[in-house]
């Protein structure tokens, strides 16, 4: 998987993702990440990438030309398959012989990012993220290059870098080989619309609180049932909206009835 991030702050992207799981995945060549500085593509001698909005209003708007040229050079690199950093120079419009990648614009007006979207995007070979700043980006270039408008939540940030890093981290976890234990991605929160069950480790007793006996039993079927039940309880309490979408089996229904937990409509 190749990630390209169009940004005014490339160091923020690289410093934020070159450690821990994503950093190890980059070192092992499982994922590749390039933070491309939009400012390198401006024609302005002072390296300005923004201007006043037509029609007036507060703040500045990012100009279309640097964004468009930055995007074109990424497309050129993807189609040519050339290694190394993308050069900061303008390019002619490139015909995308290999097909255009999905270009994700991080914006509060976009579709809310979730685990299902992370799994879907993990199947792509190349993903391009566009990080806005100031009051936004000229709509014309957005209409030309963006395929997906995505938000990570109903709040406003100073730029798209943090949302891009959140998405890249979440997407990377679904790429084979990124996690030491690939089963982790199949059992963590939001899988099957369930939140993850509680986790415990040594010591067996901490400040008078013991690890649940079932986890010490070695009985794998009972452990799995206990974990499933705990996920049901957590999801019902914390995310009733998700709980409504859980596919319940007979054992689930029996447990919920025994614990007076309502499910289904009515």
- Give residue-wise pLDDT tens across range 175-216: 999 998 765 666 666 778 899 999 999 999 999 999 999 999
Q: What is the pLDDT of residue 186?
A: 62
Per the CB < 8 A criterion, the answer to whether 204 and 216 are in contact is yes
94, pLDDT greater than 80: no
Cα-based distances in Å from 91 to 4, 8, 187, 265? 17, 19, 45, 58
Place of tokens 């959140």: 166
Task: Check pLDDT > 70 for residue 93.
Answer: no
Q: 10 Å Cβ neighbour count for 97?
A: 9
Phi, psi of 129 (to 5 degrees): -110, 135
| Phi, then psi, of 114 in degrees rounded to 5 | -150, 180
- Nearest-angstrom CA–CA distance, 173 and 97: 29
pTM for this predicted structure:
0.87
CA distance 62 to 59: 10
Confidence of residue 43 (pLDDT cuts 50, 70, 90): very high
Write out the two tokens for 186: 């199949």
Could you tell me if 174 and 122 are in contact, meaning their C-beta atoms sit under 8 angstroms apart? yes
Which pair of structure tokens corresponds to residue 266? 């009515």
Helix (H, G, I), strand (E, B) or coil at 111: strand
Question: Which residues on neighbouring strands pair with residue 210, listed in sequence order?
Answer: 205
Q: How far apart are the first and last CA of the chain?
A: 45
pLDDT tens sequence across 119-132: 999 999 999 999 99
Q: Is the peptide bond before 203 cis (omega within 30 degrees of 0)?
A: yes
Name the burial class of residue 116, with classes exposed (0-12), middle (13-18) and buried (19+) by CB atoms within 10 angstroms of its CB. exposed
Mean pLDDT of the chain: 91
């Amino acid at each position: 998987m190749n990630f390209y991030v169009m940004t005014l702050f490339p160091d923020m992207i690289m410093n934020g993702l070159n450690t821990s799981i994503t950093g190890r995945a980059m070192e092992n060549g499982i994922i590749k990440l390039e933070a491309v500085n939009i400012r390198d593509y401006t024609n302005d001698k002072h390296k300005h990438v923004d201007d006043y909005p037509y029609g007036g209003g507060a703040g500045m708007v990012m100009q279309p030309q640097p964004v468009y040229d930055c995007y074109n050079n990424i497309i050129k690199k993807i189609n040519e398959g050339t290694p190394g950093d993308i050069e900061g120079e303008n390019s002619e419009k490139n015909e995308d012989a290999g097909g255009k990648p999905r270009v994700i614009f991080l914006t509060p007006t976009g579709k809310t990012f979730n685990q299902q979207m992370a799994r879907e995007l993990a199947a792509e070979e190349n993903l391009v993220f566009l990080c806005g700043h100031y009051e936004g980006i000229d709509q014309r270039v957005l209409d030309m290059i963006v395929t997906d408008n995505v938000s990570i939540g109903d709040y406003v940030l100073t730029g798209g870098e943090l949302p891009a890093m959140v998405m890249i981290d979440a997407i990377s976890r679904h790429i084979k080989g990124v996690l030491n234990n690939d089963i982790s991605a199949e059992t963590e929160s939001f899988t099957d619309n369930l939140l993850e069950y509680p986790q415990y480790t040594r010591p067996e007793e901490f400040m008078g609180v013991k690890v649940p006996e079932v986890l010490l039993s070695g009985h794998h079927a009972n452990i799995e049932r206990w974990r499933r039940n705990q996920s049901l309880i957590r999801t019902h309490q914390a995310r009733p909206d998700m709980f409504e979408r859980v596919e319940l089996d007979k054992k689930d229904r029996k447990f919920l009835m025994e614990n007076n937990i309502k499910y289904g409509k009515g």
